[in-house]
Structure 1
Amino acid sequence: MSGAGAPEIAVDGSGLTVEIVASSWHTEVMDGLVAGAVRAAEAAGAGYRVTRVAGAVELTVVAEALARRGADAIACLGVVIQGETPHFEYVCQSVTQGLTDVAREHAVPVGFGVLTVDALDQALNRAGLPDSDEDKGAESVQAALQTAVTLRSL
């Protein structure tokens, strides 16, 4: 399982706001990821705003706009499920590179909560739902906030 060895992240996000940007495809998975992200922001004492976009590719342009506006931290949530065409590879590569570029170019932490899976059941298992083994929405917010705290301490 991909979550094996994951650290427990407890962060004090007081005074920080995390922008949670979430795609709309695969409603059940996305609702779980967003709920986990919100729980993590609240547990850290951080402010948050949730913005929904159409799909995973649109995460990049909204993250870019938020970074330009001085966001403290951004968590991007989405799900891309393997299909029968190369579309999966193009979307995954584009989103991964786009979000990495936003983080690097603006020195703004971008939590990567985009699930890239072979099947819907794998996404549901990572969505932070009651029967899920993992909560990638929460993990992406925790990682972004922890990085924001680290950046402020430099």
Structure 2
Amino acid sequence: MSTTKTPAPTPNLDTSGLSAAIVAATWHARFMDGLIAGAERACADAGIEPLLVRVPGAFELPVVADRLAQTYDVVVALGVVIRGESPHFDYVCRAATDGLTRVALDRATPVGFGLLTCDNDQQAFDRAGLDGSREDSGYAAAIAALETAVALRRLP
């Protein structure tokens, strides 16, 4: 039995008419499988069938998210970066985070931030939404983006 904490969507969240896309890295396949499953489940809970696009790693998330944000109401970006022995971790995390922020602001499109930036495999496991994980970051990222899209739709 899973001990995963899954955030509850806002009650009566009207996602009718919204479209969603998920862009997901391929590195760290086990953790990515959990993140993708969580994001897809959140979309299904909202009555949306998302498009799934795979990219090599976290560094590639922003460029594909930008293209998707041109035609989808919500983009969920998923990836895992685990600290190594070089500063590569810092550069990739910063570039992906800054790039995804730019996409959200430049396109006025909610981007669910499901990029795990972890020191080790255990931290990634704890957040990946797998059986026994403490958190479901894929589900949380998708719900946050969907709730933001609904909030934006209500604004004048």
Dislocated runs of 4+, deviation >2 Å: 6-14
User: In the TM superposition, what is the alpha-carbon distance from 1:16 to its structure 2 partner?
Assistant: 1.1
Checking the alignment, whether the CA contact within 8 Å between 2:32 and 2:80 is kept in structure 1 is: yes
Structure 1 vs Structure 2 CA RMSD: 1.5
Checking the alignment, whether the CA contact within 8 Å between 1:12 and 1:45 is kept in structure 2 is: no
Correspondence 1:1-150 to 2 at 5 A: 8-10=8-10, 11-68=13-70, 70-150=71-151
Unaligned regions of 5+ residues in structure 1, if any?
none
User: In the TM superposition, what is the alpha-carbon distance from 1:12 to its structure 2 partner?
Assistant: 3.4
Residues paired across the two proteins, number: 149
* Residue identity (%): 54
Q: Which amino acid aligns with 2:59?
A: V
Checking the alignment, whether the CA contact within 8 Å between 1:13 and 1:41 is kept in structure 2 is: no
SS in structure 2 at match of 1:47: coil
* TM-score, structure 2 normalization: 0.91
User: In the TM superposition, what is the alpha-carbon distance from 1:7 to its structure 2 partner?
Assistant: 6.2
Unaligned regions of 5+ residues in structure 2, if any?
none
SS in structure 1 at match of 2:61: helix
* TM-score, structure 1 normalization: 0.92
- Residues of 2 paired with 1:117 and 1:80: CA distance? 6
